[in-house]
Amino acid sequence: MDYALAVATALGALSIYLLLPRGRGSLVKTGALVGVLTLGAAMLYLLRWAGLQEGVSQGAGLNVFFCLFALIAVISATAVICHPRPLYCALYFVLLTLALAGLFILLFAQFMAIVLIIIYAGAILVTYVFVIMLASPGGNVTVADYDRVTTNPLLAVLVSFVLLGTVLQLMFIGKPRAFMAARPAGPVAVGMAMGHKILAGKPALADPKPTSKMGVMELLGVNLYSQYALPLELAGILLTISLVGAVMIARKNEPAAGVLGTGQMPTE
Amino acid sequence: MPVMSQAVLFEYLSLGAVLFVLGLIGFVARRNMILIFLSTEIMFQGVAVNLIAFGRYWMNMDGQSFVIFLLTIAAAEASLALGLVILLFRRRETLNVDVWSEMQG
Amino acid sequence: MAEDVNTSLLGLLPEIILLCTAAVVLLMGLARRDVLRRLTQWTAVIGVIVAFVAAYSNDVQSHTTALGTFLTLLTCGIGLLLLFSAWEMPFAMDPAHTDRHYRGEFFAMLLCSLAGVSMMAKVNNLIWLFLALELVSIPTYIVVATGRGQSEAQEAGIKYFFLGALSAAIYLFGFSYLYGFSGSTQFSAITAVFQSDISRHQLPWMAILGLLLVLLGISYKIAAVPLHFYAADVYQGAATPVTAFLSFAPKAAGFVAIILLLGLTGWHFSSGPDVTIPALLTVMAVLTMTIGNVLALLQRNIKRMFAYSSIAHSGYILAALVAGPALVAGGGWAHDGVAAALFYLAAYSLMTVGAFAALIYMQGKADGAEDIDDIAGISSEHPMTAACMAICLLSLIGMPGTIGFLGKLFIVQADLSTGHWILAVFVVVNAAIAAAYYLRIIAAMYVREPWTPSHVRTTLAPRFAAALCAAMVIGFGLAPSRLLSDIRHAADYMAGSSGTVRLTVFKGRAKITSHFPTGSFGRGRRSSLLTDPLAGYARRSRLAGDQNSCVVKHEFIFARPLKKDTAWSTARLLPPSPVLERNPAVVALRMSARLIVR
């Protein structure tokens, strides 16, 4: 057991527990302080740990941008679950997606970063904000009672952080080999190897040397429409189903007496 | 594109796990129906971080493709969830999920 | 073989038919003419029957696995019964509910969900599996919430849906680890990585963690501990035909998903940290069946009781899965946990759908016959329906002569023969506990005086479904051979996937050495190797090994030069089904035949 890591995890649990909204005597400031301590400790731990690993020179230890975006992501995620006002929660979620988009760019997933911003921050979260405004009993001026308190905060924090602690302990203890088998040696790094394999037998796609020339989006498109063509169709079906379902769920059940038998369309 | 070392991968994985767990806490502890569903979205984001980091590590596109499907399903579920929330709000004029526990036994 | 599904859509023909029917039904529900709207159920039924016939055809079967075919046939068969029991939905389900014009959507949702279940065994990568699981679930979220107008339905809907989203997040987190550990989403690639790691007797923690999370997440679909607690409220709150649907579709999908995912590991959890997974499965099985049965004893509401009993039956199936698949294809029933699980799944679906159909028929009143008092003394007025229900309940108890008895028998056999006698004891004890509450319903129907005047439905369909189920419960209970052989083939898909086979050919002699790791997951399984189908054809067969592994050597001698026909006939001694190709021993024999001919 890695005690430094265990202490950091426990501190994190404490800070989340303190930060969760509670009716009487708010402990937000203490919680925030503990949280900042936790994050600092976690960063130091990661720095030390990354320094100990072999082959760091390639990955250059702890990336500054990773630290920045990860901190923003964790803080905004904490704010989403801890803020008493739902509207702020939704806005913090937007911040979370922005931070994740930054991380995705670091991971050479530019397309996913853009998609995350457009779909999540732009579409889904706007819908959330819309529903929150629509369904606020007090017109969003006052904080509702049920947003001030939580159910079973202790249980939630304990269960979740035991899970997190287990995962992190397994991940950081001993050799990484025990947590995850090493990537097989060899020239994996030749571009995104996938494109190579798929395009090999298909001269119809003009580029004979795809790996060096093809961008991430192109590779993603090839991957999506060759390997996952059927799941893509399924995703379309699922979207249709949920569209129909949303209409079914949200419609008002107005009495439509005598619709059947008259042979007429029900009028709305 | 340089090879990603396992150490860097683990940094991303721990971020993914932290996001997942934060979402789990929100799901169990919060009482506002909208926030409960927002918490599951945080969990999905944790999964997305994992998947993209793995995709980068293995140098293939499967991770990113997976995330595209993840986002699709998350969007589909969000539309249903919000529809359901509106329906329930119309009945009880509250977003408190505890109101909806009449069946016991 | 699984990759063929991706290139040829023929294997997916039944699902395509189901989805197309769903689209047609959806549009028919919006039709201007009343006559057309009345025909939606018939269209749905015809679609399911066509899908069933399509799944039966050889062209389709040759493009999919036997497990896929079996699941499609089961889904279409049970789906047909479910459609019959939902015949009036959402019409006279409760007279207070006046929304009369959306039954097209309702049946379309059921068909989409059925298509998802039917597709489940044909998936070949994690992404597809995820989408198939969602295709099963999303329509059920919708029908639970909209199935009837009362606020209970909406309460059930919100509970079911939110917990469903949570479970999806959990198993997706597991999927991300499975992908990360192998670097691919394709099942074949993941299996290969698992196999190579297993041969080093050390699975990385990430793989184990991934599998654990996936099992926890999917436990929601099968209503097993730890995500079982929604079941009672959701079963009670949903309209009864929807409840019947919930007791089949997500459960079948979840169990097949578990079988596929455990199959990725080759079902091999012998040493090292890998013990975690069988331990988790065992604990889940014991807790699930015990909690389900004990809580079911306390219920007065019949639908709640069925909810807890459905939890308990999931526990039995989990107990079968702990036993793992047969080591070699074509082995006896006694050792094959997967076959026992599939058989029990089919049996449970039949029994429970029959009971629900009878219950739906008796639900003439506005809020339906939900309390046990509502069906008191119903046998005097409706002897036929009461008899159907009684037969299904007796089968759920496990009376000899019914399909439920055979199901429990196979599970107990599989557990005993693989050394999991504790599980077998738990299954038997739980079956005895379960008898108490099932008998209470039967007693209420037959012994007690009517409490309230009974109202039954006028439609024939639910009654027909109940009668059909009861007939099949008895029929398959007495003459199960056809069903058994289908399931045998389906389970053979998994059989032997854990072993490695080495083939050596020298001067017309073919030696096949199969190496089967045994261990905590398969203790005592060695005897099943005696039923190895190759043994009968080999000149000499030898069995060796220690506690942890087991080696079988078969030696075949072919006179040289061999005639082509002779060699192939040797290979054909095994059933010429594409299913068996997964079994390394069979592959080796075929290879040997080919080599020798050359």
The answer, yes or no, to whether residue B44 has pLDDT greater than 70, is yes
Q: Which residues pair with C511 in a beta bridge?
A: C504, C555
Question: Picking from B63-77, C145-159, C514-528, C574-588, which range would have the lowest pLDDT averaged per residue?
Answer: C514-528
* Position with higher pLDDT, A266 vs C187: C187
Contact check, Cβ <8 Å, C128/A231: yes
With an 8 Å Cβ cutoff, are C112 and A237 in contact?
A: yes
**Is the backbone of residue C506 left (phi > 0), alpha (psi -120 to 50) or beta?**
beta
For residue A215, the one-letter residue type is G
Task: Name residue A2's beta-bridge partners.
Answer: none
Which residues in chain B are closer than 8 Å to C172, comparing Cβ atoms?
44, 47, 70
Spatial separation of the C-alpha atoms in residues A177 and C179, rounded to whole Å: 16
C216 neighbors C227 (Cβ within 8 angstroms): yes
Among B12, B28, B64, select the one facing A155 at the smallest CB separation: B28
In a domain, A256, yes or no: no
The residue among A160, A130, A166 whose CA lies nearest residue A20 is: A160
Q: Side by side, which strands form the sheet with C509-517?
A: C500-506, C509-517, C549-557, C540-545
Of residues B89 and C366, more confidence is placed in B89
Residues C428-448, mean pLDDT to the nearest whole number: 92
Interface probe with C: pick from A175, A241, A251, most Cβ of C within 10 Å: A241
Task: Give the closest-approach CA distance of C235 to chain B in angstroms.
Answer: 11
Checking if the pLDDT of C408 tops 70, the result is: yes
Q: What is the pLDDT of residue A185?
A: 55
CB B48 within 8 A of CB A86: no
**Which two structure tokens, joined as six digits, stand for C579?**
């299913």
The residue of chain C nearest to residue B80, with distances taken between CA atoms, is: C142
A45-59, C232-246, C571-585: lowest mean pLDDT where? C571-585
Q: Report d(CA C135, CA A87) in Å as an integer.
A: 31
Q: In chain C, what residues touch A253 (CB-CB under 8 Å)?
A: 97-99, 149
Q: By CA distance, what is C91's nearest residue in A? A: A260
Cα–Cα distance measured from residue C218 to residue C229, given in angstroms and rounded to the nearest whole number: 14
What CA–CA distance (Å, rounded) separates C226 from C222? 11
Per the domain annotation, does A222 fall within a domain?
yes
Per the model's pLDDT, the better-predicted residue between C574 and C225 turns out to be C225
Is residue C308 classed exposed, middle or buried when 0-12, 13-18 and 19+ CB atoms within 10 A define those classes?
A: buried
Q: Nearest to residue C426, comparing CAs of C439, C408, C441, C440?
A: C408
Q: Which residues pair with C186 in a beta bridge?
A: C125
* Higher per-residue confidence, C408 vs A207: C408
Is A75 in the same domain as A144? yes
* Summary mean pLDDT of chain C: 79
Phi, psi (rounded to 5 degrees) for C85:
-75, -20
Query: Residue written as tokens 């069988």?
Result: C278
Looking at residue C520, its pLDDT comes to 31
A-B contacts at Cβ under 8 angstroms: 275
Structural domains in chain A (count): 3
Identify the DSSP state of A124. Answer: I
What is the pLDDT, as a whole number, of residue A190?
A: 35
Which backbone phi and psi does B26 adopt, to 5 degrees? -60, -40
Strand, coil or helix: C477: helix
Longest dimension (CA), chain A: 79
Q: Which residues have C-beta within 8 Å of that of residue A26, sequence separation ≥ 6?
A: none
Of B36, B54, B87, the CB nearest to C162: B36
Q: How far is B18 from chain A (nearest CA, A)?
A: 7
Residues A232 and A114 in one domain: no
For B34-43, the pLDDT digits (tens) are 999 999 999 9
- Please give the ipTM for the structure prediction: 0.96
Same domain for A142 and A165, yes or no, is no
Spell out the SS3 assignment of C284-328.
HHHHHHHHHHHHHHCCCEHHHHHHHHHHHHHHHHHHHHHCCCCCC
- Residue A110's contacts (CB-CB under 8 Å, 6 or more residues apart) are A104, A216, A217
Rounded CA-CA distance A153/B25 in Å is 8
Band the pLDDT of C374: cuts 50, 70, 90: confident
Q: How many whole angstroms separate alpha carbon C112 and alpha carbon C235?
A: 20
* Nearest-CB residue to B42 (from A80, A103, A192): A80
Is CATH 2.60.40.1730 the right assignment for the domain spanning B6-94? no
Inter-residue contact C121 to B67 (CB < 8 Å): no
**pLDDT score recorded for residue C11:** 86
Do both A146 and A71 map to the same domain? yes
Please judge whether C105 and A260 are an interchain contact, meaning their C-beta atoms are less than 8 angstroms apart: no
The Cα A109–Cα A9 span in angstroms is 29
pLDDT of residue A210: 45
Cα-atom radius of gyration of chain C, to the nearest Å?
A: 24
Name the range with the highest mean pLDDT among A138-147, B94-103, C202-211, C465-474. Answer: C465-474
Do the strands C549-557 and C509-517 form a parallel or antiparallel pair, or are they unpaired? antiparallel
Partner-chain contact B71 A188, CB within 8 Å: no
Asked whether A81 and A20 are in contact (CB, 8 A), the reply is yes
Are A230 and A198 found together in one domain? yes
| C-alpha dihedral sign at A75, A79, A81, A87 | negative
Residue C37 CA to its chain's centroid (Å): 33
Beta strands C500-506 and C540-545 are unpaired
The whole-angstrom separation of Cα C133 and Cα B69 is 13
Does residue C482 register a pLDDT over 90?
A: no
Query: Rounded to an integer, what distance in angstroms lies between the CA atom of residue A58 and that of residue A50?
Result: 12
Nearest-by-Cβ selection for C233 from B27, B51, B103:
B103
* Whether A6 contacts A165, CB under 8 Å: yes
Contacts of A151 in chain C (CB under 8 A): none
Highest average pLDDT, of A206-215, B80-89, C361-370, comes from B80-89
pLDDT for residue C449: 82
- A75 and A120 part of one domain: yes
Q: Report CB contact under 8 Å: B34, A132.
A: yes
What are A53's two structure tokens? 């690993």
What is the four-CA torsion angle of C518, C522, C526, C529, rounded to 10 degrees? -100
Coil, helix or strand for A157? helix
Arch. (CATH architecture) of C500-597:
2-Layer Sandwich (3.30)
Q: Where are the domains of chain C?
A: 3-492, 500-597
Residue C593 has pLDDT above 90, yes or no: no
Do A134 and A177 lie in a common domain? no
The H or E element that residue C258 is part of is helix C249-264
Q: What percent of chain C has pLDDT over 90?
A: 43
Find residue C553's DSSP bridge partners: C513, C542
The pLDDT of residue B101 is 79
Given a cut of 70, whether residue C364 has pLDDT beyond it is no
Query: Is the Cβ pair C204, A230 closer than 8 Å?
Result: no
Per-residue pLDDT averaged across C57-70, rounded?
A: 83
Of A152, A167, A216, the CB nearest to B28: A152
The predicted structure's pLDDT at residue A211: 52
Does C319 score more than 90 pLDDT?
A: yes
**Chain C residue numbers touching B70 (CB-CB < 8 A):** 172
- Give the distance from residue B65's alpha carbon to the nearest chain C alpha carbon, in angstroms: 9
In chain B, residues with a C-beta closer than 8 Å to the C-beta of A247 are 83
C593-598 contact pairs (CB < 8 A, 24+)? C593/C567, C593/C568, C594/C567, C595/C503, C595/C505, C595/C510, C596/C505, C596/C508, C596/C510, C596/C558, C596/C560, C596/C562, C596/C567, C597/C562, C597/C564, C597/C567, C597/C568
Please check whether residue C142 is in contact with residue A245, taking contact to mean a CB–CB distance below 8 angstroms.
yes
Q: Residues B34, B39, B45, CA angle at the centre, nearest 5°?
A: 130
Report the length, in residues, of chain A: 268
Helix H or strand E segment including C183: none
Domain that holds residue A163: 1-50+157-182
Choice between C243 and C62, residue whose per-residue pLDDT is larger: C243
- pLDDT above 70 coverage of chain C, percent: 72
Nearest CB partner across the interface for C161, out of B23, B57, B81: B81
Ranking A51-55, A190-194, C583-587 by mean pLDDT, the lowest is A190-194
pLDDT category at C516 given cuts 50, 70, 90 is low
pLDDT tops 90 at residue C129:
yes
Cβ-based contacts of A41 with chain B (< 8 Å): none
| Coil, strand or helix at C509 | strand
Q: Please give the residue that has the higher pLDDT: either B1 or C21.
A: C21
Spatial distance between the Cα atoms of C198 and C48, rounded to a whole number of angstroms: 42
Q: What is the dihedral of CA C430, C435, C440, C445, to 10 degrees?
A: 140
Residue C92 pLDDT grade (very low, low, confident, very high; cuts 50, 70, 90): very low
Q: Could B93 and A231 be called an inter-chain contact, meaning their C-beta atoms sit closer than 8 Å?
A: no
**Residues ≥6 apart with Cβ < 8 Å to C454:** C362, C364, C369, C374, C375, C378, C381, C382
Q: Is the pLDDT of residue C564 over 70?
A: no
| Neighbouring residues of C315: CB distance < 8 A, sequence distance ≥ 6 | C224, C225, C284, C285, C286, C287, C288, C289, C290, C292, C430
Buried/exposed code over C476-504 (b: 16+ C-beta within 10 A; e: otherwise): bbeebeebbebbbbbbbbbbbbbbebebe
Predicted local distance difference test score (pLDDT) of residue A158: 94
Interhelix angle B33-58/B6-29, rounded to 10 degrees, is: 170
Residue of B nearest to A173 (CA): B10
Predicted confidence at residue C506, as pLDDT, reads 54
Interface contact A229, partner C, CB < 8 A: yes
Residue with tokens 């107005």: A254
In this predicted model, which residue has the larger pLDDT, B21 or A180? B21
Nearest residue, CB atoms, A249 vs list B11, B32, B80: B80
